[in-house]
Structure 1
Amino acid sequence: MAPSRQEPDTDTSAGRFPADLLYRAARMYYLEDANQAQVAAALGTSRPTVSRLLSEARARGIVHIEVREPEPLVTADLAERLAARLGLSRAWVTPPVGASGTGSVLAPAVGEALAAAGLRAGDALLVSSGATVHGVAQHALTPLPGVLVAPVVGGSDEPEEYYQTNEITRQVAARVGGSPQFLYAPAMPGPELSTLLRGDATIRRVTDLWASASAAVIGIGAPPSSRTSLPSVLPGGSAGLASAVGDVCSRPFTEDGTPLDFPGSDRLLAMELEDLRRVPHAIGVAVGAIKTSGILAAVRARYVTELVTDAPTATALLARTGAQA
């Protein structure tokens, strides 16, 4: 007759197995991928006893099991809450940008936002400058054949690629299969050139689209005083911009959304913030805790009607609005 299997000693007064036995069973099963039969053989016990060991290990806190909601469900819930809290027509929330690169993470969501806008051939899609929009423009978006893609600000003389608006326009048009409409002008021309440009037919072809556009992808900048990279037209160290919480279309604004004037702003060849309020799908694109004040101001002023951001920024926005409620 085969020798009978001897069950491990238990603390019958407490009705529990010894802690070291619980640990051994749990380690083999959860960390070493042993099945219950293998654990039973190693410990010289039965499979039903192993099941009780594992159950007791969980009950006594030796094993902690975490069930995580799938990331798409988490971000979808954040997006719904964010849109409701801020009064947006819709929001898209991505996983954290982190080291993955802003453009590669945000571009799919921007593509979804553009697809949802229902643009048709001949409709105008406006794009702003800035590092975030520039990054998005490097990646696939969504097919929008025949759509007219135009910049919201001049910038033909900008030294940094983030503010080369015609190049960003060309890249976005290539991503969506649209037709680029270039603005061959600096963002802030001199007084005489400013008058000439505003009356030029090739310039008017673009600026007229600002009044009739169906959608816009608008980067929301951080407070000018906090940035190391600015379009050349914005005087970063200007005392007049100390109260600016952000900018769109190279136009800075305060916490309540009021546009701020600065030297030469009367000559700025850029879409007026008031005109953004008439765009049916003004899609703000921004990430980072430092941008939360600018995002909130842009949303409250109705400069953007939709928002693409990442989970940490969405969480920060919800926390701030919750604290203010």
Structure 2
Amino acid sequence: MGRDSTPRNEHGPARQRFSSRLVYEAARLYYLEDATQAEIARRIGTSRPTVSRLLAAARETGIVEVRVRDPEHGAAADLEGRLIASLGLTSAYVTPSARGVEPGVLLAPRVVEALAAAQLRAGDVLIVSSGATVYTVAQQSLPAMPGVVLCPTVGGVEEPEPQYQTNEITRALAFKVQGNPVMLYAPAMPTPSLHRVLVKDPQVQRVHNLWDRADAALLGIGAPPHRRWSLPSVISAHEEAMQAAVGDICARPYDRDGQPIDFPGSERLIAITLDGLRRIPHTIGVGVGADKVESIRVAVRAGYVKVLVTDTATAELLLSGDEV
């Protein structure tokens, strides 16, 4: 054959096959005898690039297992226990803080653990809120939950910002977990005439029924409206009623006592109620930042959030002067 017939893919030539004995010998010399790749090449009679491929094969085939121990893991685990004791959480998942990393990217691995702990099975219902953190989490690698039904907790078809377009967040999350999305084709706050139609719509009623029997919820916890650079269209930081708001979940603002705040049009809001969240077994709240400390603390103590996913800096602020 005139040309190299080695199969190729987008990453270049397919990895050469090596005998397991040769792979083991290269790995033994490198990891146990601290030999350099050049020394190994001389000793086994091959080239340095081939040694590099042998070491890669050792990792890929499990001959070598690499463990990276996070030095902050112990501190994070301690914070988790203290958060559970102090706030009355069911579970807490704390990840080391990392400056410059988007909260959704930072928290996603621990969200995976929180979802796995919920042990959702085909036919179970996971409801999904909006917000920048949940939006970003939905773009990350998530556990497979085949057959789990997902639906939004709030309408959002007219929202201009992607982090509040709840159908799209739900669709992305369902794709990641191999679940079945159910859409909510409604704005968060319809006009009075449209609201009268929507509450009778079979699809909207179906979503309401899913809220009532939800097994878990993935919830973004919003900071006080007056501290936010971005808000869902139904919430205005300039409304007088919002001055008492310490945060919101599912576009439902609440005060420092955890009580829902009524605002103009809130009776038309197409969203699960805060009281409805209390009835869900696994409500997983995600949030980081000093501006969210009070909103997180109140949401947990009000029973809206039972499982918290956050970072070490936020956890320490939550516990500051607040230990039991």
Output the TM-score relative to the length of structure 2.
0.77
The CA distance in 1 between the partners of 2:124 and 2:257, in whole Å, is: 31
- In structure 2, runs of 5+ residues without a counterpart are 1-68
The answer to whether structure 1 residue 70 and structure 2 residue 71 are counterparts is yes
Shift of 1:97: 3.9
The CA distance in 2 between the partners of 1:92 and 1:139, in whole Å, is: 17
Aligned to 2:138: 137
Report the residue type matching 1:249 in the other structure: C
Cα 1:69/1:101, change in 2 over 3 Å = closer
Shift of 1:69: 8.2
Aligned to 1:186: 187
Shift of 1:320: 4.1
Shift of 1:102: 1.5
What is the DSSP-based 3-state SS (H/G/I as helix, E as strand, rest coil) of the residue aligned with 2:234?
Answer: coil
Q: Which deviations, in whole Å up to 9, do the C-alpha atoms of 1:246-285 show, x marking residues without a partner?
A: 0001000001100001110000000000000000000011
Task: Indicate if the aligned counterparts of 2:125 and 2:149 stay in contact, CA closer than 8 A.
Answer: yes
Cα 1:97/1:209, change in 2 over 3 Å = farther
Flag as ranges the 4+ runs of structure 1 deviating above 3 A.
none
Aligned to 2:219: 218
Aligned to 1:56: none
Aligned to 2:230: 229
Aligned to 1:128: 129
Report the residue type matching 2:152 in the other structure: P
Aligned to 2:82: 81
The CA distance in 1 between the partners of 2:317 and 2:242, in whole Å, is: 24
Q: Whose radius of gyration is greater, 1 or 2?
A: 1
The CA distance in 1 between the partners of 2:273 and 2:221, in whole Å, is: 15
Cα 1:86/1:170, change in 2 over 3 Å = same
The CA distance in 1 between the partners of 2:81 and 2:142, in whole Å, is: 22
Aligned to 2:203: 202
RMSD of the alignment, in Å?
1.2
Shift of 1:235: 1.4
Output the TM-score relative to the length of structure 1.
0.77
The CA distance in 2 between the partners of 1:105 and 1:225, in whole Å, is: 25
Aligned to 2:305: 304
Aligned to 1:243: 244
What is the DSSP-based 3-state SS (H/G/I as helix, E as strand, rest coil) of the residue aligned with 1:216?
Answer: strand
The alignment covers a number of residue pairs equal to 256
The CA distance in 2 between the partners of 1:288 and 1:103, in whole Å, is: 12
- In structure 1, runs of 5+ residues without a counterpart are 1-67
Report the residue type matching 2:297 in the other structure: L
Shift of 1:84: 1.3
The CA distance in 2 between the partners of 1:163 and 1:93, in whole Å, is: 25
The answer to whether structure 1 residue 165 and structure 2 residue 166 are counterparts is yes
The CA distance in 2 between the partners of 1:92 and 1:69, in whole Å, is: 15
Aligned to 1:148: 149
Task: Indicate if the aligned counterparts of 2:103 and 2:287 stay in contact, CA closer than 8 A.
Answer: no
For 1:16-31, list aligned pairs within 5 A. none
Report the residue type matching 2:242 in the other structure: L
